[in-house]
Structure 1
């Protein structure tokens, strides 16, 4: 499955949506010059296309394998990881103070998109390490940072996140792993964690596990959880008392080792506390929020790869005469319904990319001390994570449809995108949890100031569209979506019944994703007037109009669903639901 990094599209989205010139003007991101970013995207694209992509099918067929506690990656993966480390890619978005290159998170996200499009299972390793770096940089002691951060920044070591347990999934407060203090200030860790992505492998010299556990006499629930750094190898080089005791056999991402990790089988697992005692959730959420943006990016990345794959097939596959005329078969891309499908894939991919890039830039501004940037990042993160991952599954499924019966056959590769993408709406907080976070917390933050300001930006773009003879055709569709989003936001913010709010959460998140996606494509269409490539500019304008006319009408229907309340959800008894 060949992959070509969409560098022109990425750079345009970075400039127009993430406001890369504005980020580069901030002292923290002064290294993000135009020439530097161009070179980074070009070189990362080569790594993705020439090194990561050829291993995608290899990993899907061969799988990671467990033998006596050791995980062996598919052929070529360890060597490819060594190239990643040699290129210095792991420290791209890390501040220079910690040994990184000091580039914006938005630029690092663009690179991560390329690697994920090329090989999602492999890129998960890099994603988890980036989150571990951010958590340690924000919360670890100077001593821990000096000992572990530099090796993570170079990529010589990799990082993981250990939350989930057999009896504690989304309800993290129910976890039972324990941490007992040692006289020397270290802690003895004991417990079992499941679904640990890249928890064991043979590509790096050491693996740094960030583990949630309870200390003695800690309060119940999430208030009693602490975070610990638990390395595979201790500073003296000896093996720590932890091991992988199982690998999950999954629907997709087969090359990514999803491990069951056992800590302290011999009561000798050593860890160091990160941050204050009972402050583990705050520290872990630093890593979790990074991961949620990056998981949203996985939806974008798989959608891009599936679209490229389907478009290539549609341009060469000859099948049937055109509807209503002639007898000669044509390439399937000439059929109106196939063209509609391809345009849907393209529009959804570009809209979700713009949303995630906007989110990443808001994170950058928050790190630079901008309170409004923090508020926007908080608001957008659940939308990015949930809407973009739903888009990834939807677009991958449409890609299978383009291939027809051959899409259902593994040899074509279309099915792998769908299988790989399906995990993204589940991990790092299911999309239902993201929706409830949006309506339960983010909608009310600062009295609703952030969603009101964001919809105000959509309204400002509507005024700009009216000055363009072609793009003003978008106006009525975007105006209707904006009105629906505003009305539904007010209804949910004022609703008194928690069940009614929860019932409307998922359709509300989707309508916000669609509305923001339509707005961001409209912004790009306006900006494309200054683009030097007339074909690129024309495609931008057509894509924005297609999204507005074909996809934005869904918003009004979603708004009606979001404001109906929960009573009908409980109208059938449990026994009635189960009746044959």
Structure 2
């Protein structure tokens, strides 16, 4: 099933009722009143049409055909080139880009929903676009004016694409081990030599040029991560007047044959003395690349939400039509031989779990998008600094928790179909395959958990997490807050667990790694509780305006607090089990 309908009503609820986006955007001088909720609604409606009418019909065919490699040339599936041209013509690649170079300058709070639609309708296609958007962010933030002027307009326009080249065969997460080398030339350029793997969109036929951002080391660079520099390396050389010249000394050695996202070309890239230019300062490339990586981590989290929502749509439609047995409370469809399976408790449990987790994830993406906008456009230095701290704290949660729960939701969606969920024609098995990668790339979820607990929570003595918990408590202190007591109890548990780990990690550093994944999940469920409390409170306040929609929000919030938030009790017990039991088994006994 290739149909997809964008969740526009739910998005509007978040932007208007929960987060008051219009007032936030009005407070940003750089937007100069160019965006309000009405304009945002029109933009999102167009994005929804593109996703539903252009991208979704290519999802299954793209999966079956896949990207093809032959003699260094990569061909995308039928229809992808035309769809990419349509997408680029709409200005979507430069949606959040710098207007000085042709971008639209739209806020991230709005862009997260466009990205969800992309991933929900066609994750493989989405990856070509979001890599260009992320690379543009790094170039705009760190490159010199000459490079920005030369490359950004065509990337924003979709005439050229971009990629991120980090990983090497022997160096995955530990980028300090990379061997790619850069040698300076008399004209100020560099010769880049080395091999990169797992490069999304490293080669394809969608654009006339691809601009690679490549991590490499200079000959005299310090050892480890402190010796990494970032370079811009075009596939085709660009003349001073912007015209294309000769092919650069780089090539695609092969593409990977993968479990999912098969229409996305995942490339082995060989740089054989390719010409490139330094982006930012020498030996500070990792910090520059993290500008792009943190953007991509939020986007990957959104991939989890998009795939989960698409799976939910299909599962709901099927559950309302599929007849199996009678409802435990008695016949519902008395004129039929059996009742629709949506009346069976376990099916409702799965559907409500999908709904609660997906809508919670969408709310978190919206919240983090707003914080990114405040960090960039906030009026005062204090506002920008606080938002930046909040983004740093929540980025690993957003990437990991949204993708872990995204997979859970897609598996539920497949399960609701029974045996049909295992069959290709229904599309549910593809959702499971496509979303699975989101837990792995852009830093595995285990690494995200270590980052959250080790760096973001313990690294600053708990200041960042204390600030976030204080924000939640301020919300709980407001009048007419839904689920106040349960929310505060969850906050207290997260605070207690954070202190428990800090106390024990001082004596045994293994405690951080032993507790990190459960801690991130506990953190995620508490964060969702905060957002569901905000959503339920907004729904209660507006109930009379649209009883059907808002009562559904209230019911879903009740389900979250009754059936999903209690998971934190088991997570807390698990991580309090400590690290010692992980090491009782000798290595030889595995």
> Which category of TM-score, normalised to the shorter sequence, fits these structures?
over 0.9
Q: Could you say which residue in structure 2 is the equivalent of 1:272? A: 277
Q: Is 1:292 the counterpart of 2:303 in the alignment?
A: no
Q: Could you say which residue in structure 1 is the equivalent of 2:191? A: 188
Q: Could you say which residue in structure 2 is the equivalent of 1:347? A: 356
Shift of 1:32: 2.3
Task: Give the match's secondary structure for 1:315.
Answer: helix
Task: Give the match's secondary structure for 2:535.
Answer: helix
Q: Could you say which residue in structure 1 is the equivalent of 2:259? A: 251
Q: Could you say which residue in structure 1 is the equivalent of 2:159? A: 156
Aligned length: 569
Shift of 1:430: 0.5
Task: Give the match's secondary structure for 1:307.
Answer: helix
Q: 126, 129, 143: which one pairs with 2:132?
A: 129
Q: Could you say which residue in structure 2 is the equivalent of 1:15? A: 16
Q: 535, 538, 549: which one pairs with 2:562?
A: 549
Task: Give the match's secondary structure for 2:9.
Answer: helix
Preserved CA contact (<8 Å) 1:93 1:108: yes
Rounded to whole Å, the distance in 1 between the matches of 2:469 and 2:261 is: 37
Q: 30, 37, 40: which one pairs with 2:40?
A: 37
Task: Give the match's secondary structure for 1:135.
Answer: helix
Preserved CA contact (<8 Å) 2:93 2:130: no
Preserved CA contact (<8 Å) 1:45 1:114: yes
Q: Is 1:6 the counterpart of 2:46 in the alignment?
A: no
Could you list the runs of 4 or more consecutive aligned residues of structure 1 that deviate by over 6 angstroms after TM superposition?
Answer: none
Shift of 1:260: 0.3
Alignment of 1:87-106 (within 5 A): 87-106=90-109
Preserved CA contact (<8 Å) 1:400 1:407: yes
Q: Is 1:392 the counterpart of 2:439 in the alignment?
A: no
Residue-by-residue CA offset, 1:216-248 (whole Å, 9 max, x unaligned):
121111111110000011014211111111110
Residue-by-residue CA offset, 1:399-424 (whole Å, 9 max, x unaligned):
11000011011121110000000000
Q: Is 1:490 the counterpart of 2:504 in the alignment?
A: no
Q: 513, 518, 521: which one pairs with 1:507?
A: 518
Shift of 1:23: 3.0
Q: Could you say which residue in structure 1 is the equivalent of 2:440? A: 426
Alignment of 1:401-420 (within 5 A): 401-420=415-434
Preserved CA contact (<8 Å) 2:16 2:37: no
Rounded to whole Å, the distance in 1 between the matches of 2:164 and 2:88 is: 20
Residue-by-residue CA offset, 1:370-421 (whole Å, 9 max, x unaligned):
1000000000100000000001110000011000011011121110000000
Q: Could you say which residue in structure 1 is the equivalent of 2:201? A: 198
Shift of 1:446: 4.8
Q: CA 1:384 to 1:420, structure 2 compared with 1: closer, same or farther past 3 Å?
A: same
Alignment of 1:325-344 (within 5 A): 325-326=330-331, 328-344=337-353
Preserved CA contact (<8 Å) 1:481 1:556: no
Task: Give the match's secondary structure for 1:422.
Answer: helix
Shift of 1:438: 0.6
Q: Could you say which residue in structure 1 is the equivalent of 2:324? A: 319
Q: 62, 71, 79: which one pairs with 2:74?
A: 71
Alignment of 1:202-281 (within 5 A): 202-236=205-239, 237-264=245-272, 267=273, 269-281=274-286
Alignment of 1:400-479 (within 5 A): 400-444=414-458, 446-464=460-478, 467=480, 471=482, 474-479=483-488
Q: Is 1:567 the counterpart of 2:548 in the alignment?
A: no
Rounded to whole Å, the distance in 1 between the matches of 2:461 and 2:499 is: 11
- Range moving further from structure 2, 483-492 or 207-216: 483-492
Rounded to whole Å, the distance in 2 between the matches of 1:187 and 1:17 is: 50
Rounded to whole Å, the distance in 2 between the matches of 1:492 and 1:20 is: 37
The unaligned stretches of length 5 or more in structure 1 are none
Rounded to whole Å, the distance in 2 between the matches of 1:179 and 1:140 is: 17
Rounded to whole Å, the distance in 2 between the matches of 1:67 and 1:17 is: 50
Task: Give the match's secondary structure for 2:438.
Answer: coil
Preserved CA contact (<8 Å) 1:177 1:212: yes
- Range moving further from structure 2, 9-18 or 567-576: 9-18
Preserved CA contact (<8 Å) 2:25 2:36: no
Rounded to whole Å, the distance in 1 between the matches of 2:115 and 2:455 is: 29
Residue-by-residue CA offset, 1:512-555 (whole Å, 9 max, x unaligned):
10111121011011112226322111011111111000001111
Shift of 1:563: 2.6
Task: Give the match's secondary structure for 1:256.
Answer: coil
Q: CA RMSD in A?
A: 1.5
Q: Could you say which residue in structure 1 is the equivalent of 2:242? A: none
Preserved CA contact (<8 Å) 2:446 2:517: yes
Rounded to whole Å, the distance in 2 between the matches of 1:535 and 1:87 is: 34
Task: Give the match's secondary structure for 1:202.
Answer: coil
Preserved CA contact (<8 Å) 1:31 1:103: no
Q: Could you say which residue in structure 2 is the equivalent of 1:519? A: 530
Q: Could you say which residue in structure 1 is the equivalent of 2:542? A: 530
Preserved CA contact (<8 Å) 1:299 1:391: yes
- Range moving further from structure 2, 554-563 or 403-412: 554-563
Shift of 1:121: 0.7
Q: Could you say which residue in structure 2 is the equivalent of 1:27? A: 29
Residue-by-residue CA offset, 1:274-316 (whole Å, 9 max, x unaligned):
0111111011010111111111111111111110111111111
Rounded to whole Å, the distance in 1 between the matches of 2:511 and 2:210 is: 44
Rounded to whole Å, the distance in 2 between the matches of 1:89 and 1:225 is: 32
Rounded to whole Å, the distance in 2 between the matches of 1:356 and 1:324 is: 39
TM-score, with structure 1 as normaliser: 0.96
Preserved CA contact (<8 Å) 1:71 1:257: yes
Rounded to whole Å, the distance in 2 between the matches of 1:273 and 1:460 is: 46
Rounded to whole Å, the distance in 2 between the matches of 1:16 and 1:453 is: 24
Residue-by-residue CA offset, 1:200-229 (whole Å, 9 max, x unaligned):
110111100000011112111111111000
Task: Give the match's secondary structure for 2:368.
Answer: helix
Preserved CA contact (<8 Å) 1:17 1:357: no
TM-score, with structure 2 as normaliser: 0.94
Shift of 1:18: 4.6
